[in-house]
Amino acid sequence: MPVDILQSIFSDIWSAIIALLFFGASIFVHELGHFLAARWRGLHIERFSIGFGPAIWSWRGKDGVEYRLSWLPLGGYVTLPQLAAMSEIEGESSVDVSKLPPVSYGSRMLVLVAGATCNVLFALALACIIWITGQPSNSMATSTTIGYVAPELALPDGRKVTSPAKEAGLQAGDVILAIDGNKVGEWNEIVQTIVTGSGRTATGEPKTVFTIERNGVVKDITVYPQLAGPDEFRTAGIDAGYELIVRGVTADSVADQAGFQNGDQIVSFNGQPILNITTYFEILARHKAEPVNATVRRGESEIALSIPARPDSKDAQIGLALTTGFSLTHPTPFQQLTDNVLMTVRTLASLINPQSDIGLSKMSGPVGIVRILHSAAQADLTILIMFTILINVNLAIFNLLPIPVLDGGQMLFATIAKLRGRALPTNFIMATQSTFMLLLFGMMIYVTVFGDIRRLFRDIQSEKPAATAPADAGE
C-alpha cells in the first residue's frame, strides 16, 4: 500500500478520534456541571453517564457513584433521585428516595442550570484561545458586497428559472446592509439570515427584503427566494464579492505572455469589474476567440494588459493561480459567544416558525455534528475549536428550553411545584418524562436518518466536481 494512502488513512482516523473527543468533551462538561453542583449541595448521586442505554464500560468509585460510558451517544445524564423521577430513562435507583432529605427549590435550580453554565464557561475558555491565537479569515467570509448574481437557478425538479436576485434587480457591487431588517456584518450571516427567513407573500411564496447601498444610495429591494440546492434551502442566487490576487503565473502560459505578475489584483476584464471567481471564468469562457482587455492593480498603479485570444482552448484557464485577501482577526470571547447565541436563537426560531422553510430534516444530529467536527479537525485546529464553541452554545440554549426531560423542563416543574406549594404527582412527572424522551429519541432518529445519513450518502455518491475556490483557480 502506497505511503500516501497510509498517511491519508491514519489522518482520517486521527481526525475522527479528535472529533469524537471534542464532541464527548462538550457532553462531559455539561454533565460535570450537574455533578459538581449536586455534590456541592449535598445531593445523593447515583450515576454519571456519558450516553444513554446499556453500559459499554462502568466503574463504581469510592464515593459510591457509578461512572459509565453508554452505547447511545445522544447526550448524557447524572442520576439524582432526589431531583427528578427519571427511573425509566436512567434506570432504577438503589436507594429509597423517601428516606433522602428533600431538596430546596434553590438547590434544584442551581443543579439544573449548572450544566448549561459549564457549557458556556467551556465555550468561553475556548473563545479565549481564539482571541489570543487569532481567527483566520478571508475577504469572502468578511464580505457584505455582492460579487456575483447568478443568471439562473436549477430547482430540485430539474427546471431552470431566472435567479431571484437577477429578477429583483440586485447587482454585483451592491453592499448588503440588512436582510429583513436584521443588520448583517459578514457573508455567512447573510446566507443564514436568508435561509432562516420567514417572510412570505400573500400567496405563501418566500419573500426577503434586502437593504442595500448602491452608489451611495440606500434602498430596499424585495427578493423572492427559491428553494434550491440538495437541501432545498431558500436561495437568492448571489455570491460574495472579494478581490482576486495573482499568487502564481505558469511559465510560458497565456497569462505569462500577457504580462501578469505575482501580487497583481485583477480589477476588470473588458471594463467589467471582477468581484468573484465565477465572473472571472465566465468572461474568459465567453471571449476565448478574441483578446480580453484586463486591468490589474500593481502596487499603487493600475496597469492595462491584454490576454491573447485562445480559440483552441478547451477551458477558461490561462495559467493563473489566484487567491484572495487573508487576515487574522482577534474577536473578543464575548463577541464570539454573542455571535453564536444569535445564530442558535435564529435557527431555533426558524425551526418553530411555521412561516419558515426550515424543518427537522435540515438539522444535524450527533452523526452530522461528529462529521462536521471530523472535517474541521482535518482542516485546522482553530476551525475545530470555533465549531466546538458553537456546539456548546447550542447545548446550553437547547437544554434550557422548557421541555420535559431537558433541564429547562425540570426547572419548569420545580417552579410550578414551588408556586402551587406542593410537589407535582410522581406518576405525572414520570409519564411526561417518558413521553418526551420517546419524542426526543424519535426526533434524533429522524434527524439522523433523513438528515445526517441522507446527506452522507448523497455526498459520497455525488459525482459533481468540487466548486473551484479562489485559492485554487488556475491550478
pLDDT tens across 130-167, in order?
Answer: 999 999 889 999 999 999 999 999 998 889 999 999 99
Most confident of the ranges 49-53, 95-99, 222-226, 460-464: 222-226
Q: Cell 455567512 identifies what position?
A: 188
DSSP code, position 186:
S
Q: In the structure, what pLDDT confidence band is assigned to residue 192 with cuts at 50, 70 and 90?
A: very high
Most confident of the ranges 255-264, 425-434, 435-444: 255-264
Q: What's the confidence (pLDDT) of residue 188?
A: 93
**Cα(176)–Cα(220) distance, integer angstroms:** 10
Q: What's the confidence (pLDDT) of residue 92?
A: 56
Three-state SS for 407?
Answer: helix
Angle 90-93-96 from CA coordinates, rounded to 5°? 150
**Cα(389)–Cα(124) distance, integer angstroms:** 8
Q: Cell 432529605 identifies what position?
A: 101
For 138-241, give the CATH class.
Answer: mainly beta
Q: Are 341 and 119 in contact (CB under 8 A)?
A: no
Residue 354: C-alpha distances to residues 224, 225, 350, 451 (Å): 18, 17, 8, 19
**Cα(344)–Cα(221) distance, integer angstroms:** 27
**Cα(207)–Cα(198) distance, integer angstroms:** 8
Q: What is the mean pLDDT of the chain?
A: 89
Confidence check: pLDDT of 468 > 50: no
Backbone angles phi, psi at 52, to 5 degrees: -115, 170
Q: Which residues contact 21 (CB under 8 A, 6 or more apart)?
A: none
Q: Are 70 and 24 in contact (CB under 8 A)?
A: no
Place domain 244-323 in its CATH homologous superfamily.
PDZ domain (2.30.42.10)
Q: Which residues contact 475 (CB under 8 A, 6 or more apart)?
A: 248, 321
Confidence check: pLDDT of 12 > 80: no
| Domain boundaries defined on the chain | 3-134+385-461, 138-241, 244-323
| Cα distance from N-terminal residue to C-terminal residue, the chain | 28
Task: Specify the higher pLDDT residue, 368 or 279.
Answer: 279
- The mean per-residue pLDDT over the stretch 21-48 comes to 92
Backbone angles phi, psi at 423, to 5 degrees: -70, 150
Cell representation of residue 288: 476565448
Lowest mean pLDDT among 3-12, 138-147, 202-211: 3-12
- For residue 7, how many other CB atoms are within 10 A of its CB? 10
Q: In the structure, what pLDDT confidence band is assigned to residue 74 with cuts at 50, 70 and 90?
A: low
Q: What's the confidence (pLDDT) of residue 11?
A: 67
Confidence check: pLDDT of 471 > 70: no
Q: By C-alpha distance, which of 187, 131, 158, 195 is closest to 356?
A: 195
Instruction: List beta partners, residue 206.
Output: 200
pLDDT of 118-127, one tens digit each?
Answer: 999 999 999 9
Q: What's the confidence (pLDDT) of residue 172?
A: 96
Q: What's the confidence (pLDDT) of residue 416?
A: 94
Q: In the structure, what pLDDT confidence band is assigned to residue 473 with cuts at 50, 70 and 90?
A: very low
**Burial profile 91-120: b = 16 or more Cβ within 10 angstroms, e = fewer:** bebeeeeeeeeebeeebbbbbbbbbbbbbb
| Long-range pairs, 401-404, Cβ under 8 A, ≥24 | 403/436, 404/432, 404/433, 404/435, 404/436
pLDDT of 237-259, one tens digit each?
Answer: 999 999 999 999 999 999 999 99
Most confident of the ranges 301-305, 364-368, 438-442: 301-305
Three-state SS for 264?
Answer: coil
| Helix H or strand E segment including 14 | helix 3-40
pLDDT of 347-396, one tens digit each?
Answer: 999 989 999 999 888 888 877 888 888 888 888 889 999 999 999 999 99
Confidence check: pLDDT of 455 > 60: yes
Task: Specify the higher pLDDT residue, 418 or 82.
Answer: 418
Q: Which residues contact 399 (CB under 8 A, 6 or more apart)?
A: 30, 115, 116, 119, 406, 407, 408
**Cα(428)–Cα(435) distance, integer angstroms:** 11
Q: In the structure, what pLDDT confidence band is assigned to residue 7 with cuts at 50, 70 and 90?
A: low
Confidence check: pLDDT of 32 > 80: yes
Lowest mean pLDDT among 99-103, 320-324, 349-353: 99-103
Confidence check: pLDDT of 73 > 80: no
- The mean per-residue pLDDT over the stretch 433-457 comes to 85
Decide if 138-241 and 244-323 have a common fold. Answer: yes
**Is residue 351 exposed (0-12), middle (13-18) or buried (19+ Cβ within 10 Å)?**
middle
**Cα(452)–Cα(455) distance, integer angstroms:** 5
